[in-house]
Amino acid sequence: MSKLWGGRFEGATDALVEALGESVSFDARLAPWDIQGSLAHAAMLGSCGIISEADAATIQSGLKEVLADIEAGKLAWDPALEDVHTNIEVALVAKVGDAGKRLHTGRSRNDQIATDVRLWMREQIDSIVTLLARLQEALLDCAESHQDLILPGYTHLQPAQPVLLAHHLLAYVEMFHRDAERFRELRRRVNVLPLGSAALAGTPYPIDREQVARELGFDGITRNSMDAVADRDHLIEFVSDGALVMMHLSRISEELILWSCPQFGFIEIGDAFTTGSSIMPQKKNPDVAELVRGKTGRVYGDLNALLTLMKGVPMTYNRDLQEDKEPLFDASDTVQLCLEVYARMLPAISFNREAMAEATLAGFMEATDLADYLVTRGVPFREAHGIVGQVVRHCLATENTLPRLPLQEYQRFSPHFGDDIHSFLQAETLVARRNHPGGTAPVQVHQALHNARERLAAYRG
């Protein structure tokens, strides 16, 4: 490891050890947030009289120059300097001389990296919440454009009861709404400042942590210096929340994959989001949905990596914690990419009304309502359940469906079946009967769409 800042060592570090210990290859992405934290730290050191105001101003000017070099691609990251912090500090000293060596007064790389990650994570959370809102809007747009479409609702992947397509899509709106809520709640826990905790015990310098917190937009400061440098709960929670997002994306992916196959034929996904086969000209593969489904396992792996990393680490900082960045960054990148591509893909999906309508005739989805029909005519439910079971068995034997079975056939099983039985069994009638909040009746779904729009607008406001 780098011995740049120490005078204790005489021998050089083994090259393999340097390769093992360097992190700048992946933590260089934290540079803007590292400099943001250092700017606030330098300002505080100057205002508290820990360093001169002139040195503080020089440091801040130099840091801005370093940031400009980074943004222009002019800074060459040196793995021998281990990490993003040391690379930036060396670049700063090269620009401003001895003043730059005073920047690290009253802090450690332990509380510095903890601060960098929290600053970075705030922005990632905001980005993910925005992407979740876009995805919900895409789902709402799709639902509003197809409010009259009816398709089978399934349990055990068997036809169960008819529902509105809009109602089905609103189920995913609810899932992604919960995801956004989880990230918003996490942001409050992330938004506390660890800087000032130094290596683990705090610092003897008369620092003003609240000033730095205000400057960086934190709601407060951490309450325990040891916990501040050792805590990685928010990283695990971030990836856990991301894993839930991916699970929800994987579920809708699975449905789109099924719906796009000829056996269902409910949808066709636009060309921009599908691919062909190298040998089968007829193929149109739902690769985006499949890739998102696959990347879900990748984020689960990131979560398991972090949990395993942390389970045996004693207080406070240990070098193991360097390994927290790559799964964190990977999970964030993967979640955001998948959310963005899904928001683009949904408008490119067309729905096959005829295939959905035909599918509602399969599987005897009207059976529960048929039993309810008898109940409304005084038949006890358990008796009605048995009668309908016999009707279904008869339809199977005669290759018929419940909506198409003649009235005289119905009346062989019960005299309570009347002339209205066929109109009662229309899919539109069955859907409209679920007329309560949360149900699939058109009036309820219309209101649910309105409520979801208002909820999104309120969050953005």
Active-site positions? 156, 277
Separation CA 445–CA 81 (nearest Å): 59
Would you say 75 and 66 are in contact if contact means Cβ atoms under 8 Å apart?
yes
Identify which of 453, 448, 451 has the alpha carbon closest to the alpha carbon of residue 163.
448
Q: Encoding tokens for residue 299?
A: 């984020």
Identify which of 141, 135, 139, 165 has the alpha carbon closest to the alpha carbon of residue 352.
165
Would you say 34 and 90 are in contact if contact means Cβ atoms under 8 Å apart?
no
- How many residues belong to the chain? 461
Beta carbons within 10 angstroms of residue 393's beta carbon: 10
Long-range pairs for 112-115 at CB < 8 Å and ≥24 separation? 112/34, 112/37, 112/38, 112/85, 112/195, 113/27, 113/30, 113/83, 113/85, 114/194, 114/195, 114/197, 114/228, 114/229, 114/231, 115/33, 115/37, 115/193, 115/194, 115/195, 115/216
Q: Is the peptide bond before 316 cis (omega within 30 degrees of 0)?
A: yes
Beta carbons within 10 angstroms of residue 167's beta carbon: 24
Regarding beta strands 220-221 and 158-164, do their DSSP bridges make them parallel or antiparallel, or are they unpaired? unpaired
